[in-house]
A = this chain, B = another copy of it.
Amino acid sequence: MPQALLQALRARFGAQFSVALAVREQHGRDESAFTVAPPEAVVFAERTQDVSDTVQLAAQYQVPVIPFGVGSSLEGHLLAVQGGISLDVSRMNQVLHIHAEDLTVTVQAGVTRKQLNEAVKSSGLFFPIDPGADASLGGMCATRASGTNAVRYGTMRENVLALEVVTASGEVIHTGTRAKKSSAGYDLTRLMVGSEGTLGVMTEITLKLYPLPEAVLAASCSFASLADAVNTTIQIIQLGVPIARCELLDGNTVGMVNRHSRLSLPETPLLLMEFHGSPDGVQEQVGTVQSIATEHGGKSFEWALTPEERTRLWTARHNAYFAGVQSRPGCRAISTDTCVPISRLADALLDCVDEAQAAGIPYFLVGHVGDGNFHMGYLIDPEQPQERVLAETLNTKLVQRALALGGTCSGEHGVGLHKMDFLLSEAGAGAVDMMRAIKRALDPDNILNPGKIFTL
């Protein structure tokens, strides 16, 4: 990075600017198994103007800019593989406008999902999308994130109404409005959602909110085999039950979660479920799901009766990734993320578990199975190259299987550095070329998070 740019950034940002190694290293890694690749400098933006000024300076010197929220990406999105500036938006953490009367909220990009839910709780509302980590809404937009509630409420794709975006030239634009639907021109909002920081830097985000359900019931149900749990899920979805959460763990993973979160869930294949609605509506859903589970040999439901018990259960589920990683000291997780049409879920999932077990690699298995999406986390020793090779071999086989079943290589984590080849297999060269053409049009100097999603 040119000294002149460093000086200009320091002059503009003062204490909001750092080149300290510790700060740079913290900003050049994420939760993936990639080796840290620190940026050359970090800017802590506090307002949209800071983002715009940073991007303008970077554009002037043709230096990369990598937006950074809380660092919870799983696919290497935050690594400064071509150097440049990490643009940390975590201080842009204001909840700007709660429009309870319209079920919308506008936040700065650094607001996290838990912070947002705290802010809107007193209005009787909530924001359902919940990746495991307490991610920033900006990061969740960038990766088109989802989580446990997506089976009922959709993903970031369905829940972002409008954005303020800083373009590659530093210009501030607005996409979308607070109207529920629109046919006014190209859908720039959804083009930005999932663009992984490569087309613009999101600074403000307008989201849908939902009324807190009148009744909430959560339960776990044990099964003798993974196949029974998966087939129960398939039938729940095919019958159109509006279940709010439907999560799978295998017995091995339940053990990890028990040890990490001090729970005593039965260490067998387990479905964790939640039902939202009116009291009668919830009972109706529960009745349907209980009878489906019984048909597949499910044990009787264990209820999480109080809000505290529910929070404990879902916190444990959200921490499953960390429970997995901590189960093998010093390990890193290589996470898979395929998503298939619901009828193909058993075909996509069961063989993957058998393959991991046959290979003798430690792993965890969690799944947003109501969406046809599951994650194998291969727990590798980063010092042992052959473990990484084994994990990637298993991952490749798993992805090829999902694609053959009509699925996608990524349900919710994004492509980043890790799935570029998979994206090409999935979308084909023509579609990836179209993505490249869009990238070149909107970021001609390739300064926005370069080297992610595809090579140029």
* Segment among A80-88, A169-177, A298-306, A320-328 that sits at the interface with chain B: A169-177
| Chain B residues positioned under 8 Å from A415 (CB to CB) | 183-185
Q: Which of A382-433 contact B (CB under 8 A)?
A: 403, 406-415, 419, 422-423, 426-428, 430-432
User: Contact between A407 and B339 (Cβ–Cβ < 8 Å)?
Assistant: no
B442 with A434: CB separation less than 8 A: yes
How far apart sit A412 and B179, CA to CA, in the bound complex (Å)? 12
- Establish whether residues A99 and B190, one from each chain, have CB atoms under 8 Å apart when the complex forms: no
The verdict on A252 contacting chain B, using a C-beta distance below 8 Å, is no
The docked-state distance in angstroms from the alpha carbon of A188 to that of B427 is 10
B441 touches A438 (CB 8 A): yes
Judged by a CB distance under 8 angstroms, whether A307 is at the interface is no
Contact flag A185-B454 (CB < 8 Å), given A175-B427, A342-B102: yes
CB distance from A185 to the nearest CB of B (A): 5
Give which listed residue, B182, B372, B423, contacts A184 with CB less than 8 A: B423
Docked complex Cα distance between A426 and B343 (Å): 42
Stretch from A144-152, A218-226, A267-275 at the B interface: A144-152
A434-B179 in contact (CB<8A) = no
Q: Which residues of B contact A158 (CB under 8 A)?
A: 154, 158
Copies of this chain, tallied across the complex:
2
Judge if A14 is at the interface, Cβ distance under 8 Å.
no
Q: Of B173, B410, B454, which is within 8 A of A182 by CB?
A: B410
Contact with B along A121-145 (1 / 0, CB 8 A): 0000000000000000000000111
Q: Are A342 and B180 in contact (CB under 8 A)?
A: yes
List B contacts of A154 (CB < 8 A): 158, 181
Which of A341, A407, A423, A442 has the most C-beta atoms of chain B within 10 angstroms of its own C-beta? Answer: A341
- Complex Cα distance A193/B186, Å? 8
Is A34 in the interface zone, CB < 8 Å from B? Answer: no
**A360 in the interface (beta carbon within 8 A):** no
Question: Is A435 in contact with chain B by the CB < 8 A criterion?
Answer: yes
Q: Tell me which of B146, B194, B410 contacts A187 (CB under 8 A).
A: B194
Q: Flag if A371 contacts B440 (CB, 8 Å).
A: no
From A41-49, A56-64, A277-285, give the one contacting chain B.
A277-285
Query: Is A340 part of the binding interface, using a Cβ–Cβ cutoff of 8 Å?
Result: yes
| Nearest 10 A/B pairs, CB to CB | A441-B441, A173-B430, A101-B343, A190-B190, A102-B341, A182-B408, A179-B339, A178-B406, A211-B240, A144-B183
Can you show 24 pairs from A to B with CB atoms below 8 A apart?
A173-B434, A174-B427, A174-B428, A177-B403, A179-B341, A179-B372, A179-B406, A180-B371, A182-B410, A182-B411, A183-B413, A184-B414, A184-B419, A185-B435, A185-B453, A186-B194, A186-B195, A186-B435, A187-B190, A187-B194, A210-B240, A278-B284, A434-B442, A440-B441
Further contacts, 15 of them, CB under 8 A, given A174-B431, A185-B431 = A158-B158, A173-B428, A173-B434, A174-B428, A178-B341, A179-B341, A180-B339, A183-B408, A184-B410, A184-B422, A185-B453, A186-B199, A186-B453, A280-B280, A437-B441
